[in-house]
Amino acid sequence: MAITYLEGDLFETGSGVIAHGCNTKGKFGKGFARALATRFPSAKAAYERAHRCGGLVLGSVVWAECGDILIANCMTQATYGNDGNRHVSYAAVASCIRMLNNASDWGVPGTCFEGGFDKVHMPLIGAELGGGDWSEISSIIERELTFAVPIVHILPDAKPEYKRLVDGVPREAASK
């Protein structure tokens, strides 16, 4: 399904599903994950609990229900670093997006999203600290996410190559 791009803070969505990329090393302290941990501590707690139990498997999703928001901690990279190298695994992104797609159709048992969902809010998964090529990642998302609309949020101070994704697009309420 085609990606909808919005300029603005992803946390202004109010409710729904938020997906983001994580590493499998148990580190949840940089980039979007750090902001998410501040806003939704239970998302970080679910990630850390899975890490302690050996459950951070590349290509898997660790779910965390935070009120009327469901966080999908997507294990998209085995390594991490802000060193200019590619840490994101495109195969892991595809696996995680397929899991999101299945959950959007079948639901996530034990959460307020048991009946599924029709949109997924996300940052530029794997493209910034993950070092991946957004054109490759966006193609994966559009190919694999068929039951829910992917909504990618771009911050106003994003790098020019990402900012161009929303140039000319009117700023809309993030909850749309």
**pLDDT score, position 160:** 81
Alpha helices in 11-170 (DSSP H): 31-39, 41-52, 90-106, 134-144, 160-163
Residue 83 is assigned to a structural domain of this protein: yes
Q: What is the dihedral of CA 89, 90, 92, 97, to 10 degrees?
A: 140
Contact 20, 125 (CB under 8 A): yes
Specify if 14 maps to a domain: yes
Residue 21 has pLDDT above 80, yes or no: yes
Enclosing domain of residue 139: 4-163
Q: Is residue 176 part of a domain?
A: no
- Decide if pLDDT at 175 tops 50: no
CATH code (residue 56) = 3.40.220.10
Contact 87, 81 (CB under 8 A): yes
- Output the pTM of the full model: 0.92
Q: Is residue 169 part of a domain?
A: no
pLDDT of residue 59: 98
Paired with 62 in beta bridges are 73
CB-based burial, 92-127: b 16+ in 10 Å, e otherwise: bbbbbbbbbbebbeeebeeeebeeebebbbbbbbbb
Q: Is 172 part of a structural domain of the chain? A: no
* 4 vs 55: which has the higher pLDDT: 4
- pLDDT, position 171: 52
Residue 71 has pLDDT above 80, yes or no: yes
Is 111 domain-assigned? yes
Give 124-139 pLDDT, tens digit per residue. 999 988 999 999 999 9
Q: Is the pLDDT of residue 169 over 70?
A: no
Q: Mean of the pLDDT values across residues 114-126?
A: 97
Residue 151: enclosing H or E segment and its boundaries? Answer: strand 149-154
Please name the residue that has the structure tokens 């085995």. Answer: 78
Domain assignment present for residue 89? The answer is yes
Within a domain: residue 142? yes
What pLDDT is recorded for position 29? 87
- pLDDT given at position 173: 41
What is the rounded distance in angstroms from the CA atom of residue 137 to the CA atom of residue 91?
Answer: 10
Count of domains for the chain: 1
